[in-house]
């Protein structure tokens, strides 16, 4: 069929997703997963990537590409390959499988291909894991020690408060903007989560106090650097902004995910809580686990606070309560007979 080269079809598919309101991060994730898969398929067919025709793609080729991806060394562990897992996580493979299935289902439904080669692809079962969270004492210690040995204590205290007392994701902390704060002084904020879905959260006292200390220092820092920023969290130093050709177009101090991760890792190390699986997202798990355990939230309220699209996603935190019940059963005076 004419006009069925992969790159042409990919761009039309992504345009359809954009028209449906999908976020830019979602579009980027689809493009990366699809491009990487189709490069492997093109190699198997012996054609160049830009000449790949999707009508030549078969179920076997897609299955092979997913198998290669599942066992391919994870580039995140290039400096310490001995720490890399033997296979990609089922959730990662499932996300890629979903992208492939969505793309070919769209191509088939719009009559661009005579059959759907991805229709029989099945995502791997995801391992059920209890979220890793900090104990209440360690969580309190993280909040208390966020300012210790910090070059910008007011900012670091706010980052930890947003993660532990509001349950914000890493991207949500880095992307929170001044215009998202409501009130003067702020009493609420609008958080843009996955898929650009918004939720409104009232600010707990620890966050309003952290903002009161941080915002004046933020204004002073921007004045010193003669820069402006939209994000609430900003970096200590300006970094260059470059276009696609690598040409520097200016400087920015707006928050990056890496800068937020650095702050959280420093605080976790200072209280002896930095270990595998305990990073920024573990603070979100801590917020949810403690909130549910102490009765601060109902399950439905927690779903809204976390910005989960499905209540089933939030229900994973009930597993923590199940573990506590099991421990209590063992401690019962009649447990030993």
Catalytic annotation on 281? yes
Catalytic annotation on 169? yes
Catalytic annotation on 194? yes
How far CA 207 is from CA of 165, 167, 172, 210, in Å, comes to: 7, 12, 15, 5
CB 203 within 8 A of CB 189: yes
Q: For residue 121, give the nearest of 165, 164, 66 by alpha carbon.
A: 66
- Catalytic entry in 31, 177, 194, 266: 194
- Catalytic entry in 88, 155, 221, 308: 308
**Tokens 């600010």 belong to which residue?**
203
CB 147 within 8 A of CB 157: yes
Tokens of 222: 């921007």
- Catalytic entry in 31, 177, 281, 293: 281
Q: For residue 156, give the nearest of 274, 266, 11 by alpha carbon.
A: 266
Tokens of 242: 């470059």
Query: Could you tell me where the beta strands, DSSP code E, fall in the chain?
Result: 181-182, 188-192, 198-202, 234-242, 248-254
Catalytic annotation on 308? yes
CB 283 within 8 A of CB 264: yes
Catalytic annotation on 317? yes
Q: How many CA atoms lie within 13 A of 77 on its CB side?
A: 12
Instruction: Give the 3-state secondary structure of residue 124.
Output: coil
- Catalytic entry in 155, 169, 218, 221: 169
- Catalytic entry in 6, 30, 214, 317: 317
Tokens of 246: 């690598």
Would you please indicate which residues are annotated as catalytic (active-site) residues?
169, 194, 281, 284, 308, 317
């Amino acid at each position: 069929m004419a006009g069925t080269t992969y790159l042409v079809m990919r761009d039309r598919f992504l345009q359809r997703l954009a028209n449906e309101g999908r976020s830019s991060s979602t579009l980027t994730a689809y493009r990366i997963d699809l491009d990487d898969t189709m490069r492997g398929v093109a190699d198997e067919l012996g054609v160049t990537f830009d000449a790949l025709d999707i009508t030549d793609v078969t179920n076997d080729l897609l299955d092979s590409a997913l198998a290669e991806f599942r066992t391919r060394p994870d580039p995140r562990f290039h400096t310490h390959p001995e720490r890399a897992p033997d296979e990609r996580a089922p959730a990662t493979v499932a996300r890629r499988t979903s992208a492939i299935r969505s793309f070919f289902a769209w191509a088939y439904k719009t009559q661009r291909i005579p059959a759907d080669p991805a229709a029989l692809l099945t995502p791997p079962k995801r391992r059920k894991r209890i979220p890793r969270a900090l104990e209440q004492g360690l969580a309190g210690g993280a909040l208390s020690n966020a300012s210790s040995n910090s070059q910008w204590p007011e900012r670091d205290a706010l980052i930890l408060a947003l993660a532990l007392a509001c349950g914000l994701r890493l991207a949500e902390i880095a992307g929170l903007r001044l215009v998202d704060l409501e009130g003067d002084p702020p009493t609420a904020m609008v958080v843009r989560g996955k898929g650009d879905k918004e939720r409104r959260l009232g600010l707990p006292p620890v966050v309003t106090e952290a903002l009161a200390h941080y915002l004046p220092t933020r204004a002073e820092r921007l004045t010193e650097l003669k820069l402006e920023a939209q994000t609430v969290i900003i970096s200590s130093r300006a970094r260059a902004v470059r276009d696609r050709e690598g040409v520097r177009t200016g400087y920015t101090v707006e928050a990056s995910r890496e800068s937020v991760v650095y702050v959280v890792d420093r605080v976790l190390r200072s209280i002896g809580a930095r270990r595998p699986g305990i990073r920024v997202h573990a603070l979100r798990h801590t917020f949810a686990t403690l909130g549910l355990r102490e009765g601060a939230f109902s399950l439905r309220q927690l779903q809204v606070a976390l910005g989960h699209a499905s209540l089933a996603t939030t229900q994973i935190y009930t597993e923590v309560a199940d573990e506590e019940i099991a421990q209590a059963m063992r401690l019962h005076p009649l447990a030993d007979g």
